[in-house]
Amino acid sequence: MGMFKTSEKLEEVLGGFFKLMADTPVIADKLLKSKLVIRFSYTDPDLVVVVDCSGEKIDVRPHDTDSKAIVEMSMSSDIAHRFWFGMVNLTKALTRKEMIAKGPIPKVLKLLPAIKPSYAMYPKYLDENGFEQYNITKAYKPPTA
């Protein structure tokens, strides 16, 4: 069993965070420049979210399994959760198939600097929106070696 017990809770937490990022210009402006449409497919619990950066504003669409995505990212909900804390080594996750990325990888990689501010936003967002129990930063010790 992962950190999130139900798909509804996962949607509430991650879906809410995606919407916060969509409303944060320092992140949203760069994402919109990419024109990417990314489908995140999470497991344990299951959830599909499309983040559509092809328009004038970022459109976050939970449960969208139909529209054509440019990039498909598949991972467990726990990996997704840890990613937004900046705790996931992307190369490691891809190598070990903890994440599967379909589509133009260079375009995904170049988005990473753009979303860096989100790593600091996520724990704050959790604390401020009644999701403190999901804030794992206090227990996390970064590697020293």
Partner 1 sequence: MLPEFFEFYNPTKVVYEDGVATDLKPELDIIGIKKYFIVSDQIINDLGLIKKVTDGLVEAGYEVTGQYTDVKQDARLNDVQTCTDQIKSSGAEGIISIGGGSVIDTAKASNILFSEGGDLVDDYSGAHTLTRPLKPHVVIPTTAGTGSEVTMVAVIYDEENKEKLAFVDKFLLPNLAVLDPQMTISLPPKMTAATGMDALTHAIEAYVGTQASPVSDSFAVGAIELIMKNLVNATKNGDDVEARGAMQIASTMAGISFSHSMVGCVHGMAHATGGLYRVPHGVANGIFLPYGMEYNFEEIKEKLARLAPAMGEDASGLSDDEAAKLVIEAVRKLGRKLNELDALPLRLRDVGVPEDGLAAIAEGALNDGTSFYNPREMDEEELLPFIQKAY
Question: Applying CB under 8 A, which residues contact partner 1?
Answer: 71-72, 89-92, 94-97, 100-110, 112-113, 143, 145
- Tell me, what amino acid is at 8? E
Q: 1 is written with which tokens?
A: 């069993």
Cα distances from 34 to residues 13, 22, 52, 70, 108, in angstroms, run 25, 13, 10, 11, 9
| Distance, CA of 144 to CA of 19 (rounded, Å) | 34
Cα distances from 144 to residues 116, 133, 141, in angstroms, run 21, 26, 9
| Distance, CA of 27 to CA of 10 (rounded, Å) | 22
Given the complex with partner 1, which of 19 and 30 has the nearer CB atom? 30
As measured in angstroms, the least distance from the Cβ of 87 to partner 1 is 11
Given the complex with partner 1, which of 25 and 143 has the nearer CB atom? 143
As measured in angstroms, the least distance from the Cβ of 128 to partner 1 is 28
Find tokens 């129990």 and name the residue.
Answer: 133
Given the complex with partner 1, which of 14 and 70 has the nearer CB atom? 70
Given the complex with partner 1, which of 62 and 103 has the nearer CB atom? 103
As measured in angstroms, the least distance from the Cβ of 12 to partner 1 is 29
As measured in angstroms, the least distance from the Cβ of 74 to partner 1 is 10
